[in-house]
């Protein structure tokens, strides 16, 4: 109802006002009618957050991402006197500074909150709820680049030797040879595996399908695992005990950590296989664009962040081209 009133006023005034004046009028009407006259001003925030999350869901964001977005925005709404759509750049800067001081969080966390705010206010701008995003003037927070480690050949062999069942061995091989996400792994079904071509189709972020490939060793171990099963569950990987349900992400993480702990290995987790594959592929000369496709990254910058540069190769290249 209130929105229709705003639309009617703007329609009539458009005959007499230029674009800049219309933008100012829109901002005033939103502040004075749509926001201030709402019976429960925080109810408006809830509606905006829900609409924003609906739009991100349609774009293909995962439930985990949506939950993170929602909790972050709801926390800001709850702890700030202004409506979200009324907050300006200084309000947001002050909130981020206070949050950092209160919680002692890292720059990485603060920058993640800034990114969520940027996405939210850009959406408000696109929806003509605000004229200009107040986050535009808030620069990206500088963070320390931490060199994340990968699995060595020796470590991978230790992990394989540390498996006491066919499922875990096949799971480690599939993760290491395809570089797929753990969420993609647990969603696979038996019928998704093409053993003849040693490939399978996974559903990645944004509900985008892509083909990943596995090696001969993975084919053998995966075949042995499936042949050993007597259940009728269509899932590719299931629990070891009855009722043999589909393995979840937490189950994979717990199992890998347990194997790593038994071998005295630190920080064994599924995502490290993905980073290892990316690093080795680039190290052996695979074009970065192909690695990007293999991993299902939308932006090539993400692929570059995953991959480490082999320092020995840098030294060799230096001798070759500089010395």
Q: How far apart are CA 29 and CA 36, in angstroms?
A: 10
- Kindly report the three-state secondary structure assignment for every residue of 198-252: CEEEEECHHHCEEEEECCHHHHHHHHHHHHHCCCCCCECCECCCCCCCECCHHHH
Return the number of other C-beta atoms located less than 10 Å from residue 203's C-beta: 16
Residue in the block written with tokens 């009539």: 12
| Polymer length of the chain | 323
Residue in the block written with tokens 């006023």: 9
Q: Which ranges of the chain does DSSP label H, i.e. alpha helix? A: 2-13, 19-29, 41-58, 63-79, 89-103, 107-126, 153-161, 166-178, 182-186, 216-228, 249-263, 271-283, 288-295, 300-306, 311-321
- Given 42, 137, 148, 271, which residue is catalytic? 271
- Given 41, 205, 210, 217, which residue is catalytic? 205
Catalytic annotation present for 274: yes
- Given 297, 299, 315, 320, which residue is catalytic? 297
Q: How far apart are CA 136 and CA 156, in angstroms?
A: 45
Catalytic annotation present for 26: no
Catalytic annotation present for 217: no
Q: Which residues are 209's β-sheet partners?
A: 203
Distances in Å between the Cα of 153 and the Cα atoms of 42, 176, 217 are: 55, 11, 15
- Given 255, 272, 274, 275, which residue is catalytic? 274
- Given 69, 95, 151, 306, which residue is catalytic? 306
Query: To 10 degrees, what angle do helices 153-161 and 166-178 make?
Result: 160
Q: Are 76 and 84 in contact (CB under 8 A)?
A: yes
Catalytic annotation present for 271: yes
- Given 26, 44, 167, 181, which residue is catalytic? 181
Q: Are 35 and 83 in contact (CB under 8 A)?
A: yes
Catalytic annotation present for 198: no
Catalytic annotation present for 306: yes
Q: Give the residue numbers annotated as catalytic, written as ranges.
A: 181, 205, 271, 274, 297, 306
């Amino acid at each position: 109802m209130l929105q229709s009133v705003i639309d009617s006023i703007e329609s009539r005034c458009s005959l007499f006002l230029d674009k800049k004046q219309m933008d100012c009028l829109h901002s005033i009407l939103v502040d004075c009618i749509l926001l201030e006259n709402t019976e429960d001003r925080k109810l408006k925030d809830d509606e905006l957050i829900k609409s924003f999350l609906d739009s991100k869901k349609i774009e293909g964001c995962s439930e985990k991402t949506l939950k993170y977005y929602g909790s972050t925005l709801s926390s800001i709404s709850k702890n700030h006197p202004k409506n979200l759509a009324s907050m300006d750049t200084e309000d947001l800067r002050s909130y981020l500074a206070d949050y950092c001081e209160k919680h002692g969080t890292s720059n990485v966390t603060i920058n993640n909150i800034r990114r969520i705010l940027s996405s939210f206010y850009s959406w408000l701008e696109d929806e003509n709820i605000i004229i200009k995003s107040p986050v535009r003037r808030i620069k990206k927070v500088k963070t320390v680049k931490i060199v994340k480690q990968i699995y060595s050949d020796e470590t991978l062999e230790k992990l394989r030797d540390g498996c006491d069942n066919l499922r875990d061995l096949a799971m480690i091989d599939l993760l290491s040879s395809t570089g797929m996400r753990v969420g993609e792994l647990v969603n696979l079904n038996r019928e998704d595996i093409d053993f003849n071509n040693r490939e399978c189709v996974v559903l990645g972020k944004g509900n985008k399908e892509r083909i990943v490939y596995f090696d001969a060793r993975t084919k053998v171990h995966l075949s042995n695992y499936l042949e050993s099963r007597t259940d009728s569950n269509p899932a590719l990987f299931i629990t070891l005990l009855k009722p043999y349900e589909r393995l979840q992400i937490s189950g994979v993480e717990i199992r890998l950590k347990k194997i790593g702990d038994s071998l005295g290995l630190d920080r064994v987790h599924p995502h490290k296989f993905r980073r290892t594959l990316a690093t080795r592929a680039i190290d052996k000369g695979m074009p970065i664009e192909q690695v990007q496709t293999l991993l299902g990254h939308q932006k090539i910058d993400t692929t570059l962040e995953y991959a480490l540069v082999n320092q020995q190769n840098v030294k060799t290249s230096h001798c070759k081209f500089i010395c």
